[in-house]
């Protein structure tokens, strides 16, 4: 009787184990953790497009799994660990808030490689990757200053982290090359994705006189509001032209596919190692959507600026950079601010009348 | 012929016992159909949801970790609901508990404070949650304000307070402006029970809370008073029970438990204070409380069951590529059937053969 019981238990356990690790072992299993739903049409959507592009490249050699809508709170460590336990050898965690959980799981699973987007902590088996989104925003600033009649730009910001601050500064530096007196109004939505809040912010900005809407949040809601009110706007993360065919000027798009292909290839070749990748327009991680709804001269200016950045002739954070307090910022990169200064940016440039929240 | 619902002469205790089981059975049947429609094998899908999480210590631990805050909060809520006091704001009490406890963790950071820090944080969390829970209770008792509205609105206040603290005064100076405190020191974190695992002392505390709740309700006069005030307010008045005092007590206990759950979550699985520390635990716990029929033991199982659907849902996403939305549909259907089956406690189905119309014309 006891034997039967043991056998039965073993059978149940084996079935369970079979359910957990069902697929063939020779494929490279790759996991993704997404912040939003894959249908957010913004941040997560672009990561998923990158994943699909990578799958298309490698076909049968890889098998991917994603967990979507993983909140940055207490659940994320479990979600990441579940992917590691399910046999994924390379795991991409695609939001800043996964930094500590990714680090914790990486220590527990030294044979699994982790890639954390937009963070600053690394380990032997944990890389970081991000985009120089400020390059696109510099171009947007130039376009915005050219197109604005009121001279007031509306900016929907998410959180006062360096990536967002450097985006606001780059926008202003670009805009000031056209109109030194340009103004920007900033609303902090305190969220990456909340279409209702984003739409409200866009309405409030327009009511305050802004005629160009730019956003560092992920949904197309602001674009829709701008389109309804007959204003112009910039997309974010992805192509948003269908939400504002008469409103979108361009969009700074995140193009993760080439990076994912490169890293998976390294993993397949056995050459993966922990590193910090920060790609911009040149490496095509940041891509501009077609320049639309603007006269040809503005379009040409935008394209020339883009080319200059790609060729390295133009640095958005070219020295001298003057801070809000009127003092010149130390120029650690020689001719421009160095990467460390941009990655840790915590000041506004001169010309911005607002204050960084919590500062 | 017609099928009608007829009120029972008295509530059926047999149905009360098996109604959750009927509900779970109906849910499983409905989900099987849904899985089949998605082109997945229903048997293996249900296996991933309900059997796979039980086969290893890892997922068992995760179920316990996920259930811990739900159970602790739901026990407190059940006291309120039994006393007919509608505390909807456990989420806020959870957050304030987390904030109150974190204060000590932040203040002692980098000092050589001893192992007293975590127990003190636990106490602060409980006190913070209790005081916050008392606000709607006092407003109700003193001014007759609806505790449903006040407790709910205080959730947003708590949320914004936490937000302010981690963006301003408590922000990690080395954290590049990200809204989070620095990672807590080891003395300010919940001890882990199993080396390398995630099961922490909070699980044990939750079990103690369940036992204490069961004893309070079944074996003490206060527990009896709470039940009578809720079930028969007139009788309670004749009995000389002070219902206002009991409402204050229920809210204080409920707030303390939610606050304790908050600080345990922050000092345990999260490791630092940040916005979004609760994926709606305070609200999900309301479901847990009712699923467990406001009974401590029932709540323990309800909490574990709900945690199981989360863990199983995640494994279903990984192994069977079943979308997350299906897990949400799953939980929704379960609640729907639980509520539907509960009506059978007070009502029964009856087949009526004659026309229900009464003819009026004939004298």
What is the pTM (predicted TM-score) of this model? 0.82
Cα distances (Å, whole numbers) of residue B363 to B3, B317, B356, B359, B360: 30, 69, 19, 10, 8
Cα distances (Å, whole numbers) of residue B17 to B13, B20, B23, B44, B342: 6, 7, 11, 29, 10
Pairing relation of β-strands A152-157 and A183-188?
parallel
Return the residue in A31, A157, A358 with the most chain B beta carbons within 10 A, the one to mutate for interface testing. Answer: A358
Residues with Cβ < 8 Å from A200, sequence gap 6 or more?
none
* Helices vs. strands in chain B: H and E counts, helices first: 13, 2
pLDDT recorded at residue B291:
85
- A67 and B317: CB-CB below 8 Å? yes
For residue A184, list its beta bridge partners: A153
pLDDT recorded at residue A17:
44
Question: A5: pLDDT confidence band, cut at 50, 70 and 90?
Answer: very low
Instruction: Read off the tokens for A289.
Output: 């959507």
CA-CA distance, B209 to B300, in Å (whole number)? 10
- B319 and A20: CB-CB below 8 Å? yes
pLDDT recorded at residue B363:
52
CA-CA distance, A272 to A262, in Å (whole number)? 10
pLDDT recorded at residue A218:
87
pLDDT recorded at residue B108:
93
CA-CA distance, B85 to A137, in Å (whole number)? 53
Q: How much of chain A, in percent, has pLDDT values that exceed 90?
A: 77
- Lowest-pLDDT range of A170-179, A206-215, B103-112: B103-112
Chain A residue set in contact with B, beta carbons under 8 Å: 12-13, 15-17, 19-20, 22, 31, 37, 65-69, 71-75, 77-79, 81-83, 85-86, 96-97, 100, 108, 120, 159-162, 165, 190, 343-344, 346, 356-358
Q: Is the pLDDT of residue A11 over 70?
A: no
CA-CA distance, A201 to B247, in Å (whole number)? 41
Collect all residues of chain A within an 8 Å Cβ-Cβ radius of residue B48: 19
- A120 and B176: CB-CB below 8 Å? yes
Contact between B209 and B71 under an 8 Å Cβ cutoff? The reply is yes
CA-CA distance, B68 to A271, in Å (whole number)? 42
Contact between B262 and B97 under an 8 Å Cβ cutoff? The reply is yes
pLDDT recorded at residue B144:
93
pLDDT along chain B (363 residues), means of 10: 79 77 88 90 88 85 94 97 94 97 94 91 97 97 95 96 90 81 92 86 96 94 89 86 91 98 93 89 91 91 90 86 84 84 80 63 50
Residue A100: what are its φ and ψ, rounded to 5°?
-65, -45
Q: Where are the domains of chain B?
A: 65-294
CA-CA distance, B35 to B55, in Å (whole number)? 22
Residues with Cβ < 8 Å from B239, sequence gap 6 or more?
B225, B228
Secondary structure (3-state) at A126: strand
* Distance (Å) from the alpha carbon of A146 to chain B's nearest alpha carbon: 32
Contact between B230 and B93 under an 8 Å Cβ cutoff? The reply is no
Q: What is the per-residue pLDDT across A132-171, written as a single tens digit (0 to 9) for each? A: 999 999 999 999 999 999 999 999 999 888 889 999 999 9
pLDDT recorded at residue B105:
95
Phi-psi region for residue B39, left (φ > 0), alpha (ψ -120 to 50) or beta?
left
Helix (H) or strand (E) holding A93: strand A90-93
Q: Which of B44, B277, B317 sits opposite A73 (nearest CB)?
A: B277
pLDDT recorded at residue A25:
56
Domains observed in chain A: 24-131 (3.40.50.2300), 133-253+289-343 (3.40.50.2300)
ipTM value:
0.78
Contact between B121 and B267 under an 8 Å Cβ cutoff? The reply is yes
Instruction: Read off the tokens for A81.
Output: 């660990």
Q: What is the dihedral of CA B309, B314, B316, B317, to 10 degrees?
A: 140
pLDDT recorded at residue A12:
45
């Amino acid at each position: 009787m006891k034997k039967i019981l043991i056998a039965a238990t073993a059978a149940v356990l084996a079935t369970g184990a079979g359910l957990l690790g069902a697929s063939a072992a020779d494929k490279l299993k790759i996991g993704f953790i997404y912040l939003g739903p894959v249908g957010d049409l913004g941040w997560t959507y672009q990561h998923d497009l990158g994943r699909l592009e990578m799958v298309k490249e490698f076909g049968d050699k890889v098998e991917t799994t994603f967990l979507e809508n993983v909140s940055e709170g207490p659940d994320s460590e479990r979600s990441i660990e579940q992917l590691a336990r399910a046999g994924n050898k390379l795991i991409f965690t695609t939001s800043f808030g996964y930094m500590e959980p990714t680090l914790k799981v990486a220590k527990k699973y030294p044979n699994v490689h982790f890639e954390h987007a937009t963070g600053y902590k690394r380990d032997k088996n944990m890389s970081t990757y991000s985009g120089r989104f400020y390059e696109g925003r510099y171009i947007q600033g130039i376009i915005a200053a050219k197109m604005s009649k009121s001279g007031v730009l509306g900016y929907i910001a998410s959180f006062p982290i360096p990536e967002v601050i450097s985006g606001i500064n780059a926008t202003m530096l670009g805009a000031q090359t056209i109109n030194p007196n340009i103004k920007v109004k900033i609303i902090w939505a305190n969220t990456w994705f909340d279409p209702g809040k984003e739409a409200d912010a866009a309405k409030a900005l327009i009511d305050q006189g802004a005629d160009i809407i730019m956003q560092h949040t992920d949904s197309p809601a602001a674009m829709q509001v701008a389109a309804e009110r007959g204003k112009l706007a910039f997309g974010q993360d992805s192509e948003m032209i269908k939400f504002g065919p008469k409103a979108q000027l361009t969009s700074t798009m995140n193009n993760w596919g080439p990076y994912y292909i490169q890293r998976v290839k390294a993993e397949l070749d056995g050459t993966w190692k922990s590193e910090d990748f920060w790609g911009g327009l040149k490496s095509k991680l940041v891509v501009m959507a077609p320049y639309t709804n603007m006269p040809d001269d503005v379009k040409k200016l935008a394209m020339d600026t883009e080319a200059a950045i790609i060729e390295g002739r133009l640095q958005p954070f070219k020295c001298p950079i003057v801070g809000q307090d009127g003092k010149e910022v130390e120029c650690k990169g020689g001719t421009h601010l160095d990467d460390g200064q941009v990655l840790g940016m915590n000041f506004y440039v001169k010309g911005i009348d607002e204050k960084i929240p919590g500062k | 012929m017609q099928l009608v619902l007829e009120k029972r002469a008295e509530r059926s205790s047999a149905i009360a016992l098996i109604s959750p089981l009927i509900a779970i059975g109906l849910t499983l049947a409905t989900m099987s159909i849904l899985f089949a429609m998605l082109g997945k094998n229903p048997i293996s899908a249900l296996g991933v949801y309900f059997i796979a999480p039980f086969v290893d210590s890892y997922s068992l631990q995760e179920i316990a970790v996920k259930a811990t805050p739900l159970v602790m909060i739901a026990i407190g809520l059940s006291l309120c609901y039994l006393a007919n006091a509608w505390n909807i704001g456990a989420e806020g009490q959870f957050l304030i508990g987390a904030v109150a406890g974190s204060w000590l963790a932040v203040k002692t950071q980098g000092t050589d404070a001893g192992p007293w820090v975590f127990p003190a944080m636990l106490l602060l969390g409980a006190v913070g949650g209790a005081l916050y829970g008392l606000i709607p209770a006092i407003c109700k008792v003193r001014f007759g304000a609806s505790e449903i509205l006040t407790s709910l609105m205080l959730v947003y206040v708590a949320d914004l307070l936490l937000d302010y603290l981690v963006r301003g005064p408590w922000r990690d100076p080395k954290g590049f402006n990200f809204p989070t405190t620095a990672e807590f020191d080891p003395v300010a974190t919940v001890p882990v029970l199993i080396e390398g695992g995630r099961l922490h002392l909070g699980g044990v505390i939750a079990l103690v809370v369940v036992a204490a709740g069961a004893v309070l309700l079944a074996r003490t006069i206060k527990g009896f008073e709470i039940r009578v005030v809720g079930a028969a307010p007139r009788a309670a008045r004749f009995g000389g029970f002070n219902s206002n005092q009991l409402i204050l007590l229920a809210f204080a206990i409920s707030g303390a438990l939610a606050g304790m759950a908050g600080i345990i979550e922050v000092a345990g699985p999260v490791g630092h204070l940040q916005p979004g520390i609760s994926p709606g635990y305070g609200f999900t716990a309301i479901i847990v409380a009712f699923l467990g029929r406001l009974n401590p033991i029932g709540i323990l199982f309800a909490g574990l069951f709900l945690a199981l659907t989360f863990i199983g849902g995640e494994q279903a996403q990984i192994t069977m590529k079943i979308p997350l939305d299906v897990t949400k549909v799953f939980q929704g259907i379960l609640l729907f059937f639980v509520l539907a089956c509960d009506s059978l406690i007070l009502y029964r189905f009856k087949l009526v053969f004659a026309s229900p119309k009464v003819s009026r014309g004939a004298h």
